[in-house]
Amino acid sequence: MKILVLNSGSSTQKSALFELEHDASVDPVPPPWEGKLEWNGTKQDRVIRNSRGDEIRDQAETPAERQVSIEEMLRNLWSGPTAVLGASSEVSVVGHRIVHGGPKLTQPIVVDETVKRAIANVSEIAPLHNQSGLRGIELIDKLLPNTRQVAVFDTGFHQTLPLPAKIYSGPYEWYERGIRRYGFHVLRLSKLSAVTWGTDVHWWRLTAATVWTQLWASHH
């Protein structure tokens, strides 16, 4: 099972491919391919490497549309000197780290048009990160149109906070408008198995833990 993970941030784009078998453990596994773009003003740094030791490392001007650079980076997964796949169709599923799910998107979920709208609807709370996440989803729609995508939300883990802990010390109408304490930087793992495939839940839970543990590590 080949799983591509996208971590779309406000100033970076980190991607990695993980290849997991049915007996995969929950311990982190090294990715056979990974890429990173970092934008700092007008400067773009790019690093792409694979497990064979092949590497692309360069610097360029930040393009007007970052999507162009992200697409070029991802294409190196199946073409070019760092390619580890024979074709893009070998990717089994794509996982996206989305910073904010708001009050409704509390569990990992297969991406469809309704989910995209829901992510967009709470983008005011995390405008830079959520918009970047949506652009990552749209790019995968273009590059891998028949591949299932799953969104996992930083805010999902803390959805069980008791009500007094969620509410800020301000007017209650803030809470009614969705302004509340959500909690960030923790990815909920336990449900990716069921929503992604619907079968072999134990293996998918291990897969989720492995992939998102790696994603959490790459975020820091």
Choosing from 54, 58, 112, 154, which is the catalytic residue? 154
Q: How confident is the model over 131-159, as pLDDT tens digits?
A: 899 999 999 999 999 998 988 887 776 67
Give the span between the Cα atoms of 62 and 44, in whole angstroms.
5
Percent of the chain scoring above 90 in pLDDT: 43
Amino acid, single-letter form, for residue 38? E
Select 2-34+65-219's CATH number: 3.30.420.40, 3.30.70.3450, 1.10.3720.10, 3.40.220.10: 3.30.420.40
Q: Domain segments of the chain: what residues?
A: 2-34+65-219
Q: Which two tokens stand for residue 53?
A: 């030791």
154: annotated active-site residue: yes
Q: Which two tokens stand for residue 38?
A: 């970092």
Q: Is the pTM of this model over 0.85?
A: no
The residue that leads in pLDDT, 128 or 94, is 94
Question: What per-residue confidence (pLDDT) applies to 212?
Answer: 53
Give the span between the Cα atoms of 198 and 60, in whole angstroms.
43
Q: Which two tokens stand for residue 62?
A: 């930040």
Give the span between the Cα atoms of 208 and 194, in whole angstroms.
10
